[in-house]
Each structure stands twice: as structure tokens, then as C-alpha cells.
Structure 1
């Protein structure tokens, strides 16, 4: 069975990363649409020079990844929507052979709404933050509940759920997957390399802001899908809010021993996380470093969650939380 396929890449000021992304797509799919969110680095001209169709989002509206992906699909639809759509971020390149494998899986199993694979970092060891991204992308293969934005989607599944939710500023990919599954489709991660990613995270502030964005997603998408992000939200409330408050109260009450015992809970969390990472094959030093950041991440996560609740209470429209 031969199925038509198109690709939608989204980006903003990705520079040479975009060239690598679009070139990798052109080699594997029938049509490519690049959706630009107000770039000022020549991305639009670059895409057009490669013969790629470009959609420039209206700058009077807030940019979101969901809005960009939907706009790309509408551009594909103008000439007849392909059977399958590969979504990819502009800082990723598609691994050779992924499309053939992904399409074969979708054609083999008509219940599948989408397939995804493994993403890996191009410059994994450039920073501890890149290392953590690389580990984050490599999840177990098999049936999945949700995944990131790099995915190969059956167009009928996309239409059945009306695409991505453009109001979401983050975790729109998780929300999309959950709705696809609720519509009666399944989702699967194949044990194959899919994309190479260039996170380019070199500063602590970037890492912090990325985790603020994650926390916002925990609160918003978790609230929309009550059983999703439950464990993540509990950990954020415990380690980001409850324990710090109890430690502060213990200090104010002149109970330093109680404060130390409470503080030791963070040490226990770090130790358990480091032990788990080592059991997964990470070197000891790397596991210890990553565990420290995973423990600390609850604070920016809390900031993101509180930001979501604050803007919802004020009826404010969300704006992108950018970290690059």
C-alpha cells in the first residue's frame, strides 16, 4: 500500500538548524510546509530557497506551536490532505528511514492514530542540560499515552479531533495525543531513531525557564485531562511548596532539628533519583548531577503552575514561555 505523506515543520529563528531540518524532510516526504512564527533571522527566505512552501503566522495573534502545526496542515489541505502527516520542530532533523518505518506501521495497523520514535541530542555532552534532554527523549517503546511534538499522524485521526488546541502555550502535544486516544485510536512508540535535536541549552536560566513552561503544562493540561500529570503535580506541590513552607515554619518556630529533618527529605529524593538513573545505565557522576537538577526542578515547575492559575483567575490570554 502506497500512502501519501506531507510534513509540517514549525520554527522561530532557528538559523542553520532549520536548513538541516527542511533538507532532511525534503528527502523523505512528498510535500513540506514550513510555518514561521515571526522569525527575524532569514528563516523564511531560507525555506523558500529550498523550495519549501512557507506559511507566515499573523503576528497580531499570540504564537503557539499548536497554532503553527494547525496552519501547516491547512496549507497541506489546500492541495489535498495526505494520508499521513509528519510533525517536526525546526530545531530537529529527521533520521533517514524513519518515514518508511513509520508509514509501514500505520498501514499495518488501522487502529493507530500516530506513531513516534526516539529523539536524541546532536550535541548531547555540550551541557548537563542537553544531557537531561537526551535522556528525556528516550522513553520505552510500545503503546504510549502521549508523546512530544515529533510524531507521524494519520490525517483522519487529526481531523477527528480537530487538530491541536491553539489556546495551549505548552504541552499541546500531550493534549493532542490524549484526545486522539479518546477518539478511539491508539498511539505507539517504535524502537527506532526518529529525529536528532539541537536543544542548545547552555545556561541555567534557560533550563529554569524550560521547567517553568513544563509546570504550566502540568497545571493546564493536567486540569483538562484529570488523570494526566497527576504524579508530576503531586511532586511539585510536595517538593516545591509544602516542604519549603514547613521548613520556613520550623525555622520561625525555632525548631532547627525539625527543619533539618525536613530538608533531609530533599536529600533522600536526590539519592533515590540518582540510584534510579544509575540503574538505567548512567555513569555515577552524571546520575548525581542530573538527580540534583531533577530535585531542584520542582521550584520552577511550581512557578509555572502558579503562573497558570494566576492568569486563569485574571482571565488573561497566555503568551509563550520561551527559553531559547
Structure 2
């Protein structure tokens, strides 16, 4: 079989990057793509034997661009058939590489295989716990992977890799194009990575949700007309709860209509419904509250995308940490 390589991307990840690289000692080569770090990340990566690529920050940065740069470097130095992509704030757990490699070799129609990503410190904040629940997606054929995944290089070559223009949602968009070429994306029942979201404030949570809304809008703009209707439901849901319903409440209140109160009650009703649906526990209601509130941030992200398109402004990354 052709070899296995790893591509790690990061920016000022500090100790998280060291943990990430130390967990990849069994892979050669490991390519680290740095995006303007000022915390010694480049030197730390070189000390651990990684091939380092420093992105030209004069060009707009995206994670997709960084992953493509890492893949290009892998092609320059070896003939790898598979690449494990890892975000610099993640740590690959023992046994994942062997499990994922065995699976993708046994299933030649699979382009991407991912497993269970867990938060390193889910008890540190309700936002971290929310991320941990978000990663817990069903096993089997998947619509998307995250930043951590084992990918078949020939499949990536067939679709031209990641779209470097996307500031978020680049992995789901890549998976749409892979499936259009007949490839499968699989999630298997195996531990894959530990992720350190480190979200401790509402402001961080809001920015992350805003970025998701931007990704929904851009994904729907690119592939919404396809049979998959990529991100269309997510975009519509964000607009209904984040814009249409608030505007309806506002206009009803201006007109003095009693319906304003009833429309307002839809939000607590939604939180109760989601909380009870997921077990009625305190974490379930916390998750329901976060999901409901996030729609306002997502709606803002949707609006940002369409305003950018309308005024032909360049996209800028939305960082939450």
C-alpha cells in the first residue's frame, strides 16, 4: 500500500500543538502548516521533526487554503496514498490510525473516514459540553466530516482538494463534491481525536455560531440547488428563528397586536420542547437554550455572507479563540 502522511494546521496553538504533534510520532512525514503564529509554534514543530510550511499571510487566510498547502507539500516529499488531516488543537488518540487505515483499505469506495471526536474538557463550560454533544454524530455514511479525518489522496485529487476561498464549512463542501463523483464519506465507531475548544465565554460561542451561519449561507449558495440541497435547511432555520420571527414580533408590537406576546413565547416553548426531547435534564435544557440562542448569531452570519456577495467584498475569517 502507499504510505500514510499527516497534515496539521494551526495558529498560536501553543501546548495544544505540541500534544498534537507528539501523538503523530508513528507517521512520516508530518507536515505542519502555520498561519502566522507568534508563539513559537514553527520552532516547536521543527524540533519534533515536522515539515513546516509557513503560509504567506499577505494572501487571505483560510483553513482550506492551509490544508491544500499541506497536501501539496506531502506530494512533494512522498507518494502517500492517504493523509490524516488534524487541526492543531486536536490530539489523535491511540489506535485511531490503525483502525481508520484498515477501514479505508477494506472499502475502496470510501474517500473519507472519520470517527469520534471528543472535547478534552467538556466540564469546563457549558459551551465545551455543547461542542462535545455536537461531535456525537451517527455512525455510517455521513454527509460531512470535520477538520480531523483520514482521506484518500486520489479522491482529493479528483475533486481538486478543498476550496481555499471558504472561510468556514470547507469540509462539508468538499464532501458534497466527493459524493458527486461517487465517493463515500464514512463515520466509524472508533475514538479519533481529543479537541480543545476552550470556549469559556458567551462571546466566543456567539462568534462560533456566527461563523456557522456564514458557512450555511455560502454552502447553500454553492450547492443548494443540487439534489442534496446542501445547507439549505440550516440556512432557512437560522433565518426563521433569527430574523423572520423577531421582525414579526416587532411589527406586531408596533401595531399593538396581542400576537406579539404569543410569537415571543415561541422561543421559551422551543427551549422546553428541545430540552424535554433530549431527556429533560439540566444539560439537555442548557443545550436547548444554546441551540435556540445560536440562531440569532447564525442569522447574522447568513446576512454577512449575502451582504459580502452583494457588495463584492472579500471574506474575512471569523475566529472565536
TM normalised by structure 1 equals 0.96
Look up the match of 1:75: 73
Give secondary structure in 1 for the equivalent of 2:59: coil
Q: Would you identify which runs of 4 or more consecutive aligned residues in structure 1 move more than 4 Å?
A: none
Give secondary structure in 1 for the equivalent of 2:319: coil
Alpha-carbon separation, structure 2, partners of 1:246 and 1:6: 53
Look up the match of 2:265: 264
Alpha-carbon separation, structure 2, partners of 1:106 and 1:3: 12
1:37-76 correspondence runs (5 A):
37-76=35-74
Deviation sequence 1:201-239 (CA, Å, 0-9, x none): 001100000011000000001211110112211211111
1:291-302 correspondence runs (5 A):
291-302=288-299
Alpha-carbon separation, structure 2, partners of 1:285 and 1:24: 35
1:52-201 correspondence runs (5 A):
52-201=50-199
Alpha-carbon separation, structure 1, partners of 2:164 and 2:264: 41
Q: How many residues align?
A: 317
Confirm whether residue 229 of structure 1 aligns to residue 228 of structure 2.
no
Alpha-carbon separation, structure 2, partners of 1:167 and 1:234: 23
1:204-215 correspondence runs (5 A):
204-215=202-213
Alpha-carbon separation, structure 2, partners of 1:7 and 1:121: 21
Deviation sequence 1:28-78 (CA, Å, 0-9, x none): x22100000000111001101111110000010011000000000111111
1:270: how far off?
A: 1.0
Give secondary structure in 2 for the equivalent of 1:78: helix
Is 1:81–1:155's contact at 8 Å kept on the other side of the alignment? no
RMSD over aligned Cα, in angstroms?
1.0
Is 1:64–1:320's contact at 8 Å kept on the other side of the alignment? yes
1:3: how far off?
A: 3.9
Alpha-carbon separation, structure 2, partners of 1:111 and 1:159: 15
Q: Structure 1 stretch 257-266 or stretch 56-65: which is displaced more?
A: 257-266
1:183: how far off?
A: 1.2
TM normalised by structure 2 equals 0.97
Give secondary structure in 2 for the equivalent of 1:181: helix
Counterpart among 197, 214, 217 of residue 216 in structure 1: 214
Confirm whether residue 4 of structure 1 aligns to residue 3 of structure 2.
yes
Look up the match of 1:274: 275
Give secondary structure in 1 for the equivalent of 2:80: coil
Alpha-carbon separation, structure 2, partners of 1:31 and 1:305: 39
Is 2:2–2:79's contact at 8 Å kept on the other side of the alignment? no
Alpha-carbon separation, structure 2, partners of 1:184 and 1:288: 40
1:80: how far off?
A: 2.8
